[in-house]
Structure 1
Amino acid sequence: MSRDQDMTDERRHAEGMKTRREVLGDAHVDRAQARTDAFTADFQDLITRYAWGEIWSRPGLDRRTRSCITLTAMVAGGHLEELAMHVRAALRNGLTRDEIKEVLLQTAIYCGVPAANSAFAVAQRVLAEEE
């Protein structure tokens, strides 16, 4: 039986919440949960089960690698609020400031200098807050 077939929605949600808390921290997840209402509950369930319970919990890549990929995706998509959250997550996942810088330098070539410029500003702010 494949991993997907073995995971019920309830188990996927529990695994996702565990991973989400480990990657993003309890405070962030608690704030997201506190803001959940009838309109956003289905979306919160979806991202918990699939983004965190299915993808981030897969054994094929370690969390450091997933963080590098996610930082790049946030820059490429121009998702700067999410980028800030994932810079914090990258630190929790063991990336150093220099490794985060290298990921952002790489994005300058493949995502564009203006996107990387904005990403560096966000990361600089987040890293200063985390010190």
Structure 2
Amino acid sequence: MPEEVPDPYDDGMRVRREVLGDAHVDRAQARTTPFTEDFQALITRYAWGSVWTRPGLDRRMRSVAVLTALLARGHWDEFAMHVRAALRNGLSADEIGEVILQSAVYCGVPAANHGFAIAQRVLDEAGNGE
């Protein structure tokens, strides 16, 4: 008889709340409809429960990777959300700036320029802007 694989949903929800904050996750859950509930379950299980829980990278490194990927693809709403998450994961404002500066070389100056503007707004809102 095959061994039952544990469902990563609960671990995913725990990590999602730790990284994004209860308020964000509660808002996302409240907006869930029958049309979107399978997608919400997918990202909780897969992204948060199967990938973010892996031991190979700490959360700071995962935040660096996510910020770079979101900037490269121009996913600006998610970029702002993950700047907040990066702060929760222990990155400083200076480190977030370095990630964006590094990304300018590989993702393009216009993308980095927009990323800096979004990050500045998020940092100001969080009281970390300079």
| TM-score, normalization by structure 2 | 0.94
- Confirm or deny that 1:130 pairs with 2:95: no
Match of 1:8 in 2: 6
Give 1:127 deviation, angstroms: 0.3
Q: Which has the higher helix share?
A: 1
Q: Deviation of residue 8 (structure 1)?
A: 2.3
Runs of 4+ in 1 over 2 A off after TM superposition: 5-9
| Structure 2 alignment gaps of length 5 or more | none
Report the counterpart of residue 27 of structure 2 in structure 1: 31
CA distance in 2, matches of 1:123, 1:6: 43
Could you tell me the percent identity over the aligned residues?
A: 69
Report the AA paired with residue 112 of structure 2: A
Equivalent pairs, count = 125
- The answer as to 2:95 corresponding to 1:88 is no
Seen in structure 2, the aligned counterparts of structure 1 residues 7 and 57 have a Cα distance that, compared at 3 Å, is farther
Which residue does 1:40 correspond to in 2?
36
The alignment status of 1:103 with 2:104, answered yes or no, reads: no
Q: What whole-Å deviation, never above 9, does each CA across 1:100-131 have from its counterpart, x for those lacking one?
A: 00000001000000000110010000000001
Output the CA distance in 1 between the equivalents of 2:126 and 2:77: 16
Letter in 2 for 1:16: G
Indicate which of 70, 74, 79 corresponds to 2:70.
Answer: 74
Q: CA deviation at 1:6?
A: 6.8
Question: Gaps (5+ residues) in structure 1?
Answer: none
Change (3 A) 1:63 1:7: farther
